[in-house]
Structures are given as structure tokens and as C-alpha cells.
Amino acid sequence: MPYYLLLSRSITHAQRMSRVLERSGITARFFRPPMGLTDRGCSYAVRVGEGALQAALERLRAEGLLPMRVFEALDDGTFREITM
């Protein structure tokens, strides 16, 4: 199933993003991002489903919690950066 990773600058930022999205009815789990997506050791990622990306970004924008970067998971196991 396709999904997106919203990169955050810290675990606290990822937790806040996840909480805002969960309260809005969007399933969002946070975890350490796959190697190669970031060069920052303290970064975390929030995973959202394919159909929830636009709603998630709108909700996060309204709360002032935009991600640093957004990646789409591709079928071959790689990631492609999405420009916002």
C-alpha cells in the first residue's frame, strides 16, 4: 500500500505532528526514517497513507507544524522526494 513519510527535525516535532493528525482522524505513526533520507541524526518520520497526504499537510500547516521534507514510498522500496 502506498504511503508517504513526513520528515521532522526531532522526536518532539514528530510526536506533535502525529498527535495533531491522529486527533484529526488521520492515522500517523512516527519512527526513525530509513537510512539515506536524511543526514541529520535526530530526524524522525511520520508515516501517512496515500489518500491522506493533502489533508495531513493542510492540517499541519494550520498548526504551524510543517515537515522538513516529504517522501513518497515507491513500489521498488525506494523513496522519491515530493516538493510542497
pLDDT digits (tens, 9 = 90+) for 37-80: 877 677 899 999 989 999 999 999 999 999 999 999 998 889 99
The pLDDT assigned to 41 comes to 72
pTM of the model: 0.90
22/50: higher pLDDT: 22
- CA–CA distance, 28 with 76 (Å, rounded to integer): 22
Q: 3-82: what CATH class?
A: alpha beta
pLDDT at position 5 over 70: yes
The pLDDT assigned to 80 comes to 93
Sign of CA dihedral 4, 57, 53, 84: negative
Contact, 29 vs 18, CB < 8 A? yes
Nearest alpha-carbon partner for 15 in 77, 63, 80, 74: 63
- CA–CA distance, 8 with 74 (Å, rounded to integer): 20
- CA–CA distance, 34 with 44 (Å, rounded to integer): 9
